[in-house]
Copies of this chain bind each other. A is one copy, B any other.
Amino acid sequence: MSAGALAQLNAEYARAIDDDRLEDWPDFFAEPCLYTITSVDNHKRGLPVGIMYADSKGMLRDRVTALRQANIYERQAYRHIVGLPAILEAREDGARTETPFLVVRIMRDGRMDLFATGRYVDVVVDLHGTPRFRERVVVCDSSRVDTLLAIPL
């Protein structure tokens, strides 16, 4: 799997969320998958994930449905800035990568703030020529993560 393909996967993933095309989000994953959001402290100490856990595309879709019904996130927008992926292992049919990210939140009145930073710890697989996440563990740098419930990261 090429560095270009991995960069493109990351770019498309972030773009889907920031464009509010949340319904497209589960399709960036393989089935079965692992998607979790955790803090760096929990991740280091091997503690169970507190913020979000999904191990199938169905669970990701349920998450989107819940978000659409709650409508919480509508009052704000997000902008992901995804850094350069570090490729830890690359094979023909997949890769293990770590990619830093930063998310800015834009309130409806125009105010912006740093919402989250962290890294994606990923296992990417080749699905009939298309790279998809087998695992995406979102490790947030900050332990203040309550509000992270609002959107996928």
Contact = CB atoms under 8 A, between A and B. Distances in A.
Contacts of A77: 40, 141
Interface string A123-147: 0000000000000000001111100
Given A81-B100, A86-B12, A142 B18 contact: no
A82 B11 CA distance: 11
Contact of A8 (B87, B106, B114, B118): B87
Given A83-B80, A83-B81, A7 B14 contact: no
Given A98-B15, A104-B117, A7 B84 contact: yes
A79 B82 CA distance: 12
Contacts of A79: 100, 102, 117-119, 141
Interface string A83-124: 111110000000000101110101001111110011100000
